[in-house]
Amino acid sequence: MSDREIELKLVCEPTELERIRRAPALQRLKQGRASGKHLRSVYFDTENLTLGENGLALRLRRTGGVCVQTLKTETGASSDKTGALARDTGEHETRLPRGSSAPDLNRLPANLKKRIQKLANGHTLGPRLESDIRRTIHNLATPQGDRIELALDKGALRAEGRAAPVSEIELELKEGTPSSLYRVALDLNEIADLHIGYKSKSERGFALLRAEKPEAVKAESVLLDREMPLADAYAAVLRHCLVHLMANEAATTEARLPEALHQMRVALRRARSAFEIFRPAIGGETADRLAAEAKWLANELGPARDFDVFLNDILAPVTPRDAALAGLRKRAEAMRRDHWDRAVSVIGSRRYTRFLLEYGLFLAERGWTVKSKAPVLALAFASSALDKRLRKAAKIAREIETLDGEHRHELRKRLKKLRYALHFFSSLYEAREVKPYLKHLSQMQDVFGGLNDVVTAHAILDGLAAGARQRNAAARVIAWHEKRAERDWKGAIRLWKRFRATEPFWSVRND
């Protein structure tokens, strides 16, 4: 039996599962009595896990006296039509004889059997991962007529002597629209401390098998079509920002990688820029509220990032080092730990989960308003939006040689918004035209970023320095960087003049 499965996964502590089980909001939606299952599953793959690497999960599941073979395909976060957080997977399921201990590929459709054989390339499919889950199932019906299966799962994953606990909620859409999954999840998030589950059990298990560590992820390219309607481009850009944010969550909270935290803030700035860039043509109150929440979150993560930069880029290069400088570093490291603790706590909060769910719901139900009654294509809007961003930057840069610190900072922000807009819309233009223009802009951003780091260092050092020796050391740090910053500023002026001499490619080719 082949089918499509749309589900939204939430993870939590086992005690939170009990909160959900007793939740009044859930009781109002329940249809009939709950049912319980003991699910024992074995996942099969090659020794080098080729199937999992290619988005396939092949399992045998036993419950009671029944053995069911399931092949799941296209695992991963789905499109903006399901809100980016919900997963849209293919599933082929068939019952095997009771004593079966290995998959039967002959029970699969010919195309799927051929795909698995090609990936395995003659290597044996063996048992690689086991899951042992106690599942409680509730059937829900929303006032709008949507039908949802809610599964409360508690158990463990095991692979080669390693184990990982499972405590999660799966909301599977049986009938209706994906937005209903988000609305139920938002209700549950008010009751218990929940987090978005980004990986299926098989993905978690194979990560356990490989002993994978989360890594920082940079944003992928946004792929738009020249004939794409504005609303579709809006959805694609916003989804891109949300996926980028979520991709760096584990590396931030589990591994505490500075680059991952930085990428989360970049994703949030991009999202805010996207809401602002599109606002003249498309948006609404929900978009404005999401932009405000993105700003709140970025501000909460900001101090940890500031201290990462301060320690690595401001203090580290300064020589000679002495006891006073070492004292400043020690205090800065302690404050960085505190700010990181705060950042991780915020990412683990209900408010953060609510932000993700509301963002996903916004995408799933397309809860925005297009202000023009006439059809608007992405290409036409992109050209006008890029023109607007460039004019804003050029206006403040007219007197670039005499700009004070405040206006330099404002120019930096405007150039950054122009750069984000270019990333959003670059696929609408020829790559050979975009690349040199973006290169000039990136070079300027690097210089402006360094100048801003010195301004931030002033504020941090004012709070760190205690006693005359440390104040003298702080003054030495600032003097060292301000000398460098002055040279960099002269370079920024040259870069700006070179940039302004480059013809904006979107003005040349906007057909």
173 Cβ contact partners less than 8 Å away, ≥ 6 residues apart:
6, 7, 86, 146, 147, 148, 180, 181
| Statement to judge: residues 203 and 70 lie in one domain | yes
CATH code, 401: 1.40.20.10
Over 60: is that where the pLDDT of 361 sits?
A: yes
Q: Last residue of some domain: 156, 180, 210?
A: 210
Q: Last residue of some domain: 182, 210, 238?
A: 210
Q: If phi over 0 gives left and psi between -120 and 50 gives alpha, with beta otherwise, what is residue 256?
A: left
3-state secondary structure 430-447: CHHHHHHHHHHHHHHHHH
Average pLDDT on 217-232 reads 93
Both tokens of residue 46? Answer: 């090659």
Over 50: is that where the pLDDT of 436 sits?
A: yes
| Statement to judge: residues 196 and 256 lie in one domain | no
| Host domain of residue 162 | 2-210
Average pLDDT on 364-383 reads 91
pLDDT tens for residues 237-259? 999 999 999 999 999 999 999 99
| Residue 327: inside a domain | yes
| Residue 78: inside a domain | yes
Over 80: is that where the pLDDT of 510 sits?
A: no
**Rounded-to-integer distance, Cα 345 and Cα 352, Å:** 10
- What is the model's pLDDT at position 511? 44
Query: Considering the chain, what is the average pLDDT of its residues?
Result: 91
| Residue 244: inside a domain | yes
| Statement to judge: residues 85 and 169 lie in one domain | yes
- What is the model's pLDDT at position 274? 97
Which region among 17-21, 51-55, 329-333, 480-484 has the lowest average model confidence (pLDDT)? 480-484
| Residue 115: inside a domain | yes
Confidence (pTM):
0.93
| Residue 116: inside a domain | yes
pLDDT band at 176 (very low <50, low <70, confident <90, very high): very high
Over 80: is that where the pLDDT of 77 sits?
A: no
| Statement to judge: residues 254 and 202 lie in one domain | no
| Statement to judge: residues 383 and 411 lie in one domain | yes
Whose tokens are 């609510």? That residue is 354
3-state class percentages of the chain: helix first, strand second, coil last, to nearest 5: 55, 20, 25
Cβ atoms of residues 253 and 340 within 8 Å:
no
Average pLDDT on 455-475 reads 87
Over 90: is that where the pLDDT of 491 sits?
A: no
- What is the model's pLDDT at position 99? 84
| Statement to judge: residues 456 and 321 lie in one domain | yes
Name the domain count of the chain. 2
Average pLDDT on 414-428 reads 94
Both tokens of residue 364? Answer: 């799933």
3-state secondary structure 55-112: CCEEEEEEECCEEEEEEEECCCECCHHHCCCCEEEEEEEEEECCCCCCCCHHHCCHHH
- What is the model's pLDDT at position 2? 52
| Statement to judge: residues 92 and 37 lie in one domain | yes
| Statement to judge: residues 193 and 272 lie in one domain | no
- What is the model's pLDDT at position 1? 55
| Statement to judge: residues 195 and 240 lie in one domain | no
| Residue 166: inside a domain | yes
| Statement to judge: residues 179 and 256 lie in one domain | no
Average pLDDT on 476-488 reads 86
Over 70: is that where the pLDDT of 227 sits?
A: yes
* pLDDT over 70, % of the chain: 97
Q: What is the enclosing helix (H) or strand (E) of 127?
A: strand 126-141
Cβ atoms of residues 230 and 378 within 8 Å:
yes
| Statement to judge: residues 129 and 252 lie in one domain | no
Over 90: is that where the pLDDT of 363 sits?
A: yes
| Residue 223: inside a domain | no
Q: Last residue of some domain: 147, 179, 210?
A: 210
| Residue 37: inside a domain | yes
CATH code, 138: 2.40.320.10
- What is the model's pLDDT at position 160? 87
pLDDT tens for residues 261-285? 999 999 999 999 999 999 999 999 9
Q: What is the sign of the dihedral through the CA atoms of 295, 291, 389 and 242?
A: positive
Both tokens of residue 386? Answer: 């890029």
| Statement to judge: residues 197 and 50 lie in one domain | yes
